[in-house]
Structure 1
Amino acid sequence: MKSSKTIIALSLVLSLSACGGGGSDPEPVNNDQVDGISDNGNEVIVDAVDGELKTNVGLNAYAKVNPNNGLHETLGENSLSCSSNDAFLFETEHFQVFSETEYDINDYKLVAGVLDETVFGIFSETEEIGSLTGLSIGEYMQKRRSIAKFALDTLIKNYFELDSVRNSLPESSADWSEDEKIDYAWDKYIEASKDEQIALAIEAGGVDGYSWSEDDISHGNFIKVCMHSNTSSYVEETYTGINIVAPSVSLPDDYRGAVRNAMIQMYQVGVSNSVHGNLLPKWFANGQANYFTGIPADRNDHGLYDTTFVVSEEDLENLNDDPSLQSHFALAYQYLSNANVPGQSLFDIPLEMASDSDVYKLSDLESDYPYEKPTSGSLESAAFIKAFDSVALVDETGEPLSYQRYKYEYHSLMAN
């Protein structure tokens, strides 16, 4: 449930000096009203959320430590800044905002406040209320990946050696190929509840001699945020949450839009259960996020770019990362959203990807799958192509729309 609605306006002109410090006891935060100004001089106002500021949060609080190499998992470009034992943590009901240094308390309150108002729109508070993704916050937490990659790799590798499943394995499994065993283990992982997944991963770690606790491998039911000062990367998504520049360092006018964009992509990578980052093609991943946070390009300008061929970061770089591409990504998504009402099935695509072991194995499409590989540029994830086709989308005339058709007939569809 949301906290009390004390209105706060949070300011960049507040002092950056540390307030308090030392010790690991939580420091309750007082939600008093303060004034605030953004980078361009506009006021930014959010509702306050109740939270506690903690210090010395421990080794595994933000990113989990891989026992194979002693290194923290990578949660975005700036994750190491929030992974130290003595990081700071502002914790609310749904969010954990970490930082390497102690910022002014209003930085934590602004980030947490905007997250709180943004999350209930992307997700609903209960299953009975509609939301952008069609999921409640509780359903999202159950469906997203919460286990670190090293633990999930261990679970898949050791699944057939677990005492808890040995008696339920098919008799024919002794003759299966390695790929078939991965397929089976992945299916069982996806079918399991969150608690069952964690228990299986802990048991699998024991096969390799590790005595893991839940906190060693799982991120629990918090959306985690790393607040940092690297302005070259303002906001980015991870499977556990987002990384964002501290408001006192930089605060754009469209702050809510930036947070909403990152949280939509957080949803994509989290519920797909990918351990390889966001496997949705750039045009779709960015297009879905941009459509709900910005303005699509004019449909008459669709010919400026072969938008559906922008699949990877490399493809984007080959186009000099042209900022106008972002509105074209939104245009490509807008077509799908308008043609398919309600558009909830588009948010089902990353959920469908999770049920396909190709999202883990990164396998190629089967040779007889009805998809023509592009002669240049990057190839989409096989799991994405199959998921796109599985949700049974249509074009604006109601005709079935496969991924093959949308990619290669994009301009003719737009011209009609």
Structure 2
Amino acid sequence: MKMRTGLLIGLFAILVSGCKVSVSEDYNDSPGHDFTPGLYLDARDTGDYFPSSSWSLSQHSDDCIDETLYFETASGRVRVYGSPAYSDTDFRAAATELEHGIDGVLSRFQLRWSEFVSDRTAEVQYPGQILGCLSPSISRTEFADASISAIGILPHYSQWPYETDQIISHQLAHFVQENLSRYQARYTLLPYWFAEGQASVVAGESIASAYQHYDYDPLEDATVLDAGPADYRFEHYALAYRYLEEANGKLAMTILLDLIQLLDWEGGFEDFTDTGESWAFVEAFNAAGLVDHRNQSLTWQRYKADYHYLLSHSY
């Protein structure tokens, strides 16, 4: 497994892994977009078929399993698969959003593209590419979703929302998370609140104010099934994640994801706690040497038990 070995070896020497989308009713129907250059190719000629491994795809990106047409950007980093019934604009717009969005997202993880490719799970079929899928099953309110292998996107460019950049950034954050935190696990190893909180912060979405922390208990939402109906819970997921990032830095959060992947690679951490978190996440959290806002040691058990106390003394 390729990882930032220097950082992890140094760390171990010291110490011995349902998605939110906010879409307006206004749509971008402007044709004057500057699309990234690229070429149309066919998997029947290149052999680069859309992956069919069900564990690595989302419900919507499954739509492209039998599609052979794809648009590849000139950089070679992005391929968008879809039906030939979709327009040239649909393909190019999706490829452009992914191409333009990935570097900004990776910078929040303190990574360059080459580092991400090196650290990315070896289980994906095309580690050097981001795969997009023009998915007819995605609704206008949902717009996009992400998995470890691909990002499903609404194919009709004329119906895209104005906040497309932010939504794609959110989904790219999930794409990066899953690739850094999973090696061979069939399901995400990240608590729901952490995955959504980090993606929300990366995408620049709304974050609850620290003095509002008593309004919701984000750490109770280990899975999407635990989540309550309140839409504002996503702002609290972001608040809980931002607390960790502000106290420890962006790079520490990326190393946490790497540690989760390492534990998944080594095996023995497949199970989940009684409250729903993966043991890989809990063990990695405790091994990462994280601290609170006063620079005191912060274990997962302490963060969960003292969350409101910590937040109430952080401002």
TM exceeding 0.5: yes
Q: Partner of 1:51 in structure 2?
A: 38
Equivalent-residue separation in structure 1 for 2:304 and 2:184 (angstroms): 23
Q: Partner of 2:95 in structure 1?
A: 112
Q: Secondary structure at the match of 2:151?
A: strand
Compared CA separation, residues 359 and 43, structure 1 to 2 (3 A): farther
Q: Secondary structure at the match of 1:355?
A: helix
* Amino acid of the structure 2 residue aligned with 1:90: F
Compared CA separation, residues 108 and 360, structure 1 to 2 (3 A): farther
Q: Partner of 1:336 in structure 2?
A: 244
Is 2:196 aligned against 1:286?
Answer: yes
Q: Secondary structure at the match of 1:278?
A: coil
Q: Partner of 2:14 in structure 1?
A: none
- TM-score, structure 2 as length reference: 0.81
Q: 1:133 aligns with which of 100, 109, 132?
A: 109
Equivalent-residue separation in structure 2 for 1:364 and 1:41 (angstroms): 43
* Amino acid of the structure 2 residue aligned with 1:329: Y
How far 1:47 sits from its partner (Å)?
4.2
Aligned residues: 282
How far 1:76 sits from its partner (Å)?
0.4
Is 2:90 aligned against 1:90?
Answer: no
Compared CA separation, residues 62 and 323, structure 1 to 2 (3 A): same
Instruction: Report if the CA contact (8 A) 2:120-2:127 is conserved.
Output: no
* Amino acid of the structure 2 residue aligned with 1:328: H
Compared CA separation, residues 55 and 363, structure 1 to 2 (3 A): closer
Structure of greater Rg: 1
* Amino acid of the structure 2 residue aligned with 1:402: T
Q: Which aligned pairs between 1:356-375 and structure 2 lie closer than 5 A?
A: 356-357=263-264, 361-364=268-271
Q: Secondary structure at the match of 1:356?
A: helix
* Amino acid of the structure 2 residue aligned with 1:219: Y
> Which stretches of structure 1, 4 residues or longer, exceed 6 Å deviation after superposition?
none
Which runs of 5 or more structure 1 residues have no equivalent in the other structure? 1-37, 66-71, 124-130, 149-217, 366-372
Equivalent-residue separation in structure 2 for 1:119 and 1:311 (angstroms): 27
Q: Partner of 2:121 in structure 1?
A: 145
Equivalent-residue separation in structure 2 for 1:359 and 1:242 (angstroms): 28
Q: Partner of 1:255 in structure 2?
A: 164
Equivalent-residue separation in structure 2 for 1:386 and 1:46 (angstroms): 46
Q: Secondary structure at the match of 1:116?
A: helix
Q: Partner of 2:26 in structure 1?
A: 40
- TM-score, structure 1 as length reference: 0.62
How far 1:278 sits from its partner (Å)?
2.1
* Greater length-normalized contact order (CA 8 Å, ≥ 6 residues apart): 2
Q: Partner of 1:297 in structure 2?
A: 208
How far 1:359 sits from its partner (Å)?
7.7
* Amino acid of the structure 2 residue aligned with 1:344: L
Query: RMSD of the alignment, in Å?
Result: 2.5
Q: 1:394 aligns with which of 277, 291, 304?
A: 291
* Amino acid of the structure 2 residue aligned with 1:311: A
Compared CA separation, residues 347 and 250, structure 1 to 2 (3 A): farther
Equivalent-residue separation in structure 2 for 1:398 and 1:220 (angstroms): 37
Q: 1:80 aligns with which of 55, 62, 76?
A: 62
Equivalent-residue separation in structure 2 for 1:396 and 1:220 (angstroms): 37
Is 2:239 aligned against 1:326?
Answer: no
Deviations 1:225-247 (A, max 9, x none): 11112234432221123111124
* Amino acid of the structure 2 residue aligned with 1:268: Q
Compared CA separation, residues 57 and 330, structure 1 to 2 (3 A): farther
Deviations 1:213-272 (A, max 9, x none): xxxxx3241111111122344322211231111243631221111111111111111122
How far 1:326 sits from its partner (Å)?
0.8
